[in-house]
C-alpha cells in the first residue's frame, strides 16, 4: 500500500527510497519482528483469558510435553499477521509472485487453523482429517504451478551473459520465455530443463509434458515441505529457529534470481519480478525471529499447525517460484530427516510387529525425540522392543537439541548457497 501510494504521489521527498528493494525488505523485516513481539504478548493474554491452550498431551504418546499443558497455542496467527501486514504495506501488490505468496499464506493458514481449532475446541486429538489437509495442499500446489504456467508475468531469461564495452558492463539476456528450467546442485551446467526428460515425445510435446511434470512436482514440494515443517515443530523454538535460517537462504536466492548482475555471476535464470519475494521473505524471517521472543524455552506460546503448516508451505512455494526447488533437500535437510525418520520408523515397526517382534530404528521419532529420551524410558513402555540405533542412550535437554539442529540448518543453508558456485 505504501509502495503503491508513493508510486501515485510521484516525485515527493523520500519517494525514491521505495524503489530500492533493500530498503523495503529491511523495513518489512523490522516491522515483522516488531509486530510479532508486540502482538504476541497481547495474544498470549487473550488466549489465557479464553482458555485456549494445549490440552492434547498424553503421557504415552507425548511423554516430553505433559508439563506444557496450559501453554497457549495457535500462535501461528501471530506469525501470519506479522508477515501479511508488512507485505501489504511495503510490497508491490501487483506483482504476481507476491500475490502467490500472500495467497499461499492465507490458504495454509486456514488449513492449519482448522486443524488447531478441532484439536483445541472439539477436543479431537487427530485434528483435521488428514485427507482434507492433503487436499488443501494439493489445491495450493496446483494453483501455484498453473499460475506459473499460464500467467503472462511469470517469465524468465534462461541465460544472462555480460561483456565490457567502452569500460561499461553490458548484459545480454536470452529471450524472455516461459520455462521449466530449474537449478540443480553440484553440476557444472546446473540449469536443467524438465522438458528435456521427455525429448522422446517429440519437440512439440516435450514442453507440454515438462509443464505437467513441473506442476505435479510443485504439488509434491508444497505438501512435503509443509508436512516436514510440521514434524519439526516439537520443541520450544525448533521450527521457528530452523525456518528463519531457511528463510534467510531463500531471501538470498530470490535476490540473486531477481538481479541481472548476480544472475549472470552465478549462472542462474534471471526471473524479473522475483526480487519482490525478498520483501516477503524479509517479513517472514522477521516474524519468526519475533515469535522466538515468546516461543524460546520455556515457551509461553506454541505456533500450532496454524504456524508450522504455513511456514513449510511458504518455504516450498517460494523455492518453486524462483526455480530452486531441487535445492530444498539440502536447504531443508532437517525437515527431510524428520519426515524420513517417521516414515522408516513406522514402516519397520509395523512390519516386524506383524511377525511378533518389536523393532525400532531409533528410540523415538520424529528424529529430534530420539535425542531427548533414554533407552530405559522406551523399554518401560515397550520392554520387548529392540532398538537398532541407541546412540549414547542418554537424555539431552531440548534447548541443546534445538541449538544443535539450528547449527545443522545453518551449515546446510551455507552449503545451499555455495552450490551455486560449487559445480
The band of 127, judged by pLDDT with boundaries at 50, 70 and 90, is confident
C-alpha distances out from residue 257 to 242, 380, 384, Å? 23, 53, 54
Q: Strands 386-387 and 359-360, how do they pair?
A: parallel
Yes or no: say if 172 and 161 are a contact pair by the CB < 8 Å rule.
yes
pLDDT of 219 reads 96
- Give the pLDDT mean for 213-235: 94
**What is the percentage of the chain residues whose pLDDT exceeds 90?**
64
Beta bridge partners of 182: 192
What are the domain boundaries of the chain?
22-159+179-324+407-418, 342-392
Average pLDDT over residues 237-255: 96
The pLDDT assigned to 8 comes to 63
Averaged pLDDT for residues 131-136: 91
State the pLDDT confidence band at 1, using cuts at 50, 70 and 90. Answer: low
- Which of 50-59, 78-87, 152-161, 346-355 comes out lowest in average pLDDT? 50-59
Among the listed residues 68, 64, 56, the one whose alpha carbon sits nearest the alpha carbon of residue 117: 56
- Beta strands in 112-263, from DSSP E residues, in sequence order: 156-157, 160-165, 168-173, 176-177, 181-183, 191-193
SS3 readout for 102-140: HHHHHHHHHHHHHHHHHHHHCCCCCCCCHHHHHHHHHHH
pLDDT given for residue 275 in this prediction: 92
How much is the average pLDDT of 236-245?
96
- 9 pLDDT band (50/70/90 cuts)? low
pLDDT recorded at residue 170: 81
pLDDT of residue 177 exceeding 80: yes
> pLDDT-based confidence at 106, cuts 50/70/90?
very high
pTM over 0.95, yes/no: no
pLDDT for the residue numbered 82: 96
> Which residue stretches of 258-359 are H helix?
260-266, 276-295, 304-321, 328-331, 333-353
At residue 40, the pLDDT reads: 93
Is the pLDDT at 11 greater than 70, yes or no? no
Cβ 3 vs Cβ 280: under 8 Å: no
Task: Please write the tens of the pLDDT for every residue from 265-281.
Answer: 888 899 999 999 999 99
Q: What share of the chain is helix, strand, coil (3-state, %, to 5)?
A: 65, 5, 30
Task: Give the separation between CA 225 and CA 223, rounded to whole angstroms.
Answer: 6
Q: What are phi and psi of 272, to 5 degrees?
A: -60, 135
Query: Looking at the predicted structure, is the pLDDT value of residue 47 above 90?
Result: no
Angle between helices 304-321 and 96-121 (to 10 degrees): 160
Supply the pLDDT for residue 70: 75
pLDDT band (50, 70, 90) for residue 303: very high
Give exposure, 361-388, as e/b (b: 16+ Cβ within 10 Å): bbbbbbbbbbbbbbbeebeeeeeebebe
pLDDT at residue 240 tops 90: yes
Distance separating alpha carbons of residues 325 and 214, to the nearest angstrom: 10
Report the chain's mean pLDDT, rounded to a whole number: 89
Answer yes or no: is pLDDT of 63 > 90: no
pLDDT of 180 > 70? The answer is yes
Q: Which of 79, 125, 124, 126 is nearest to 105 (CA)?
A: 79
Is the pLDDT confidence value at 5 over 80? Answer: no
Are the CB atoms for 214 and 145 separated by under 8 Å? Answer: yes
Q: What is the 3-state secondary structure (H, E, C) of 21-39?
A: HHHHHHHHHHHHHHHHHHH
The helices-and-strands tally (H runs, E runs) of the chain is 15, 8
Burial grade of 87 (CB within 10 A; 0-12, 13-18, 19 or more):
buried
Amino acid at each position: 500500500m505504501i509502495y503503491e501510494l508513493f508510486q501515485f504521489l510521484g516525485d515527493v521527498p523520500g519517494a525514491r527510497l521505495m524503489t530500492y528493494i533493500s530498503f523495503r525488505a529491511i523495513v518489512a523485516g523490522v516491522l515483522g519482528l516488531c509486530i510479532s513481539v508486540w502482538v504476541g504478548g497481547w495474544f498470549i493474554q487473550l488466549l489465557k483469558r479464553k482458555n485456549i491452550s494445549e490440552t492434547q498431551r498424553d503421557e504415552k504418546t507425548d511423554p516430553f510435553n505433559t508439563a506444557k499443558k496450559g501453554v497457549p497455542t495457535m500462535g501461528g496467527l501471530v506469525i501470519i499477521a506479522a508477515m501479511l501486514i508488512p507485505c501489504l504495506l511495503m510490497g508491490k501488490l501487483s506483482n504476481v509472485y507476491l500475490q502467490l505468496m500472500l495467497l499461499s499464506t492465507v490458504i495454509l493458514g486456514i488449513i492449519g487453523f482448522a486443524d488447531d481449532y478441532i484439536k483445541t475446541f472439539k477436543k479431537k486429538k487427530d485434528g483435521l482429517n488428514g485427507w482434507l489437509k492433503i487436499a488443501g495442499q494439493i489445491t495450493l500446489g496446483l494453483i501455484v504451478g498453473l499460475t506459473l504456467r499460464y500467467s503472462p508475468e511469470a517469465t524468465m531469461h534462461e541465460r544472462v551473459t555480460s561483456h565490457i564495452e567502452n569500460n561499461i558492463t553490458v548484459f545480454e539476456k536470452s529471450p524472455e520465455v516461459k520455462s521449466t528450467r530449474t537449478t540443480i546442485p553440484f553440476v557444472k551446467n546446473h540449469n536443467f530443463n524438465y522438458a528435456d526428460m521427455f525429448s522422446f515425445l517429440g519437440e512439440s510435446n516435450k514442453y507440454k509434458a515438462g509443464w505437467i511434470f513441473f506442476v505435479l512436482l510443485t504439488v509434491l514440494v508444497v505438501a512435503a515441505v509443509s508436512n516436514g515443517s510440521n514434524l519439526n515443530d516439537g520443541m520450544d523454538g525448533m521450527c521457528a529457529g530452523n525456518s528463519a535460517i531457511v528463510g534467510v537462504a531463500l531471501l538470498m536466492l530470490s535476490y540473486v534470481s531477481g538481479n541481472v548482475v548476480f544472475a549472470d555471476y552465478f549462472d542462474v535464470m534471471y526471473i524479473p519480478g522475483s526480487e519482490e519475494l525478498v520483501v516477503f521473505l524479509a517479513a517472514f524471517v522477521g516474524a519468526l525471529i519475533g515469535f522466538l521472543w515468546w516461543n524460546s524455552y520455556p515457551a509461553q506460546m506454541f505456533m500450532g499447525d496454524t504456524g508450522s503448516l504455513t511456514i513449510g508451505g511458504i518455504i516450498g512455494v517460494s523455492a518453486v517460484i524462483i526455480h530452486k526447488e531441487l535445492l530444498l533437500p539440502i536447504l531443508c535437510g532437517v525437515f527431510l530427516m524428520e519426515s524420513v525418520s517417521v516414515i522408516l520408523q513406522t514402516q519397520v515397526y509395523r512390519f516386524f510387529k506383524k511377525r511378533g517382534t518389536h523393532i525400532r530404528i531409533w528410540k523415538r521419532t520424529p528424529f529430534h525425540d530420539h535425542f531427548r529420551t533414554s533407552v530405559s524410558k522406551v523399554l518401560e513402555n515397550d520392554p520387548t522392543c529392540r532398538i537398532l540405533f541407541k546412540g549414547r542412550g542418554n537424555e539431552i535437554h531440548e534447548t541443546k537439541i534445538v541449538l544443535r539442529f539450528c547449527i545443522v540448518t545453518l551449515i546446510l543453508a551455507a552449503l545451499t548457497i555455495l552450490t551455486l558456485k560449487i559445480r
